[in-house]
């Protein structure tokens, strides 16, 4: 198992590039500090009317204000729609923010951990969707806690000591994208076969013929 992780981290350094063509998809232009230009309707209805980004609703605005008050400019709120909030933090601050969200704001578990590869920015974005089972007002809310790391040297602190439920999700992100989570007890392959000796599959480093 140790060898697997070594091999995977070698490939993330870009030394073994399988093909020359990077996938031509356009990642959304989203540097961490700019607010999102997205104008989307509220998630509870599926209205086709695209309106300008409305004022964030009161509860979400309150959450963002509390976070900004606590952490200052380390928090970048990307959007705050009804029931969905997305914030971006630096990798070094993510543990502190997560602990604050868990203890003071009431988000008690992580529903999912997703990694997205943005080769255009040369970054990998890891997004933690946090939910709340215990707090009544936050029942339907999902807080998307995001951080970005470089594609070449993808290391992030693990949130396993904050939210126990990220254990298998982070392990899967490790094997699928090559992001090493420091502090996670087992950065090993999970869903892939035992004899997988190739690049992490969800990276956009190859093109599939005919598609």
Partner 1 sequence: MNRRLAEANGSKIDEAVSTGMQVIKEYSPDDDRLMTLSVGPQHPGSGHFRFTIKVDGDYIVYCDPDPGYVHRGEEKMCEYRNFIQNIPHLERPVIHDSANITYSYSLAVEQLVGIEVPRRGQFIRALTSELDRQVYTLYWLAIYGIFLGHSTMFMWPTGDRELFIDLLDALTGARVTHAFNIPGGVRNDIPEGFKQKALRHIAYYEKRLEEYEDIFYNNPLLRQRTEGVGILTREDAIKLGVTGSVLRASAVPFDVRKAEPYDIYNEIDFKVQYMRTGDCFARAYVPFLDMKESCHIMRQLLDKMPSSGEVRAKLQPNPKGPAGEAYRRVESGRGALGYYIVSDGTPRPYRVKMSVGSFRNMLALPHLLVGAKLADMPSIYWALNYWPVEADR
Please report, as ranges, the residues that interact with partner 1 according to CB under 8 A.
Answer: 23, 25-29, 36, 38-41, 43-44, 46-48, 50, 83-84, 108-112, 114, 116-117, 127, 129, 133-134, 139-140, 142, 144, 163-165, 167-169, 190-193, 201-202, 208, 211
Nearer to partner 1, 69 or 200 (CB): 200
**CB of residue 142 to partner 1, shortest distance in Å:** 6
**CB of residue 114 to partner 1, shortest distance in Å:** 4
**CB of residue 86 to partner 1, shortest distance in Å:** 8
148 neighbors 125 (Cβ within 8 angstroms) = yes
**CB of residue 177 to partner 1, shortest distance in Å:** 10
**CB of residue 158 to partner 1, shortest distance in Å:** 15
Q: Name which of 35, 11, 124 is nearest 86 in CA terms.
A: 35
87 neighbors 148 (Cβ within 8 angstroms) = no
Q: How far apart are the first and last CA of the chain?
A: 33
188 neighbors 5 (Cβ within 8 angstroms) = yes
Nearer to partner 1, 97 or 125 (CB): 125
Q: Name which of 96, 186, 106 is nearest 138 in CA terms.
A: 106
| 83's tokens | 């029931």
Nearer to partner 1, 28 or 31 (CB): 28
Q: Could you tell me the CA-to-CA distances from 120 to 13, 16, 44, 117, 209 in Å, in that order?
A: 16, 19, 33, 9, 21
Nearer to partner 1, 26 or 73 (CB): 26
Nearer to partner 1, 14 or 43 (CB): 43
């Amino acid at each position: 198992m140790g060898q697997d992780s070594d091999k995977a981290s070698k490939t993330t350094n870009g030394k073994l590039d399988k093909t020359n063509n990077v996938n031509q998809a356009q990642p959304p232009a989203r540097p961490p500090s700019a607010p999102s230009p997205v104008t989307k309707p509220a998630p509870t209805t599926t209205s086709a009317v695209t309106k300008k980004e409305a004022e964030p609703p009161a509860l979400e605005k309150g959450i963002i204000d509390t976070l900004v008050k606590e952490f200052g400019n380390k928090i970048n709120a990307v959007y705050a729609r009804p029931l969905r909030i997305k914030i971006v933090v630096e990798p070094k601050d993510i543990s502190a923010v997560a602990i604050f969200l868990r203890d003071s704001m009431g988000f008690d578990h992580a529903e999912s951990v997703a990694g997205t590869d943005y080769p255009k920015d040369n970054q990998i974005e890891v997004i933690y969707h946090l939910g709340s089972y215990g707090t009544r007002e936050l029942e339907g809310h999902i807080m998307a806690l995001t951080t970005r790391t470089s594609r070449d040297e993808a290391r992030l602190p693990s949130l396993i000591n904050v939210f126990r439920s990220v254990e298998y999700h982070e392990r899967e992100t490790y094997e699928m994208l090559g992001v090493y989570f420091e502090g996670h007890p087992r950065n090993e392959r999970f869903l892939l076969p035992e004899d997988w000796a190739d690049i992490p599959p969800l990276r956009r480093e190859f093109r599939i013929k005919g598609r």
